[in-house]
């Protein structure tokens, strides 16, 4: 992908930005939505890496429609350009076939993650995105998006336990140690950690039965290192997978629809 592109991913809890110069990703930044005031500086900083290059564009994916107008204004002010959004009926076509019941309702981040993983692996694969929610999605050898599963992220699990009980504490997720939770907090961490890993193993076994082969598993998302580092079931942790998927969607669209 020899493209010059500013890519952004507007998620549930943070904005991710990256610059592709001649197809190479650099200057990745993550800004939580609680610090939206930092968006303009982050956009301007990443834009400096590509803004003077030829035929530079801006591509984005969003699962957070209420914030789209705000990020569009921030990007336009910082760069003088508008965002081209990836999605059904939007500026940029989805890069792969989506075989869910309603592709328009399927999270675009899930789709571009699978597209990027398949582009790298060239075979059936699973993507686990461990963020605010945890998604576990699968494609076949052709790269067609088959669907998957959506669960609460580990911090949502822990927050729900605290909010819905009288005595369980507020806990921020971290990788637990040892086989036993020897405190209330430790027990909560053990359940979240092993619950997620067990879910992924069970889902992938189901996918493999349907596919007739074991798919490689790629992990991404902010909690992926704490959940999966060193786990033999995970082929790779790719923190910027979604940004690569958005860039792939942009490149695929303009190969099909040259201007």
Q: What pLDDT digit, counting tens, does each position of 84-105 carry?
A: 999 999 999 999 999 999 999 9
Q: What is the pLDDT of residue 241?
A: 98
**Of the residues 27, 52, 85, the one at which a domain ends:** 85
Q: What is the pLDDT of residue 130?
A: 97
DSSP H helices in the chain: 39-47, 68-79, 108-121, 154-163, 184-211, 224-228, 241-256
What is the C-alpha to C-alpha distance for residues 33 and 93, in angstroms, rounded to an integer? 27
Nearest residue to 247 via CA among 2, 63, 7, 16: 7
Indicate the number of domains in the chain: 2
| Band of residue 258 on the pLDDT scale cut at 50, 70, 90 | confident
Please give the structure tokens belonging to residue 52: 């003077």
**Per annotation, catalytic residue among 38, 91, 93, 109:** 109
The answer to whether position 258 is within a domain reads no
Sign of the CA dihedral running 42, 44, 49, 53: positive
Residues 120 and 51 reside in one and the same domain: no
Task: For 162-186, write each residue's pLDDT tens digit.
Answer: 999 999 999 999 999 999 999 999 9
Residues 81 and 107 reside in one and the same domain: no
The answer to whether position 250 is within a domain reads no
Count, residues in the chain: 259
Residues 153 and 229 reside in one and the same domain: yes
- The answer to whether residue 223 is catalytic is no
Residues 62 and 181 reside in one and the same domain: no
Q: What is the pLDDT of residue 187?
A: 98
């Amino acid at each position: 992908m020899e493209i010059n592109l500013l890519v952004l991913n507007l998620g549930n809890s943070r904005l991710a930005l990256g610059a592709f110069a001649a197809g190479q990703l650099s200057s990745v930044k993550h800004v939580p939505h609680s610090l939206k005031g930092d968006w303009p500086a982050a956009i301007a900083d990443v834009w400096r890496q590509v803004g003077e290059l030829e035929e530079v564009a801006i591509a984005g994916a969003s699962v957070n429609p209420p914030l789209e107008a705000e990020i569009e204004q921030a990007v336009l002010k910082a760069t003088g350009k508008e965002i081209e959004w990836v999605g059904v009926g939007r500026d940029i076509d989805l890069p792969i076939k989506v075989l869910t019941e309603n592709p328009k309702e399927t999270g675009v981040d899930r789709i571009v993650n699978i597209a990027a993983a398949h582009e790298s692996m060239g075979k059936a694969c699973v993507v686990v995105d461990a963020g605010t929610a945890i998604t576990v999605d699968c494609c076949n050898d052709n790269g067609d998006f088959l669907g998957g599963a959506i669960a609460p992220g580990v911090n949502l699990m822990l927050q729900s336990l605290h909010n819905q009980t009288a005595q369980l504490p507020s806990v921020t997720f971290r990788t637990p140690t040892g086989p036993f939770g020897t405190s209330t907090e430790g027990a909560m961490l053990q359940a979240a950690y092993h619950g997620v890993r067990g879910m992924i193993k069970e889902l992938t076994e189901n996918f493999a039965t349907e596919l007739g082969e074991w798919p490689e598993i790629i992990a991404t998302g902010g909690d992926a290192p704490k959940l999966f580092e060193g786990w033999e079931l995970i082929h790779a942790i790719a923190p910027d997978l979604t940004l690569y998927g958005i860039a792939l969607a942009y490149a695929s669209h303009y190969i099909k629809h040259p201007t």
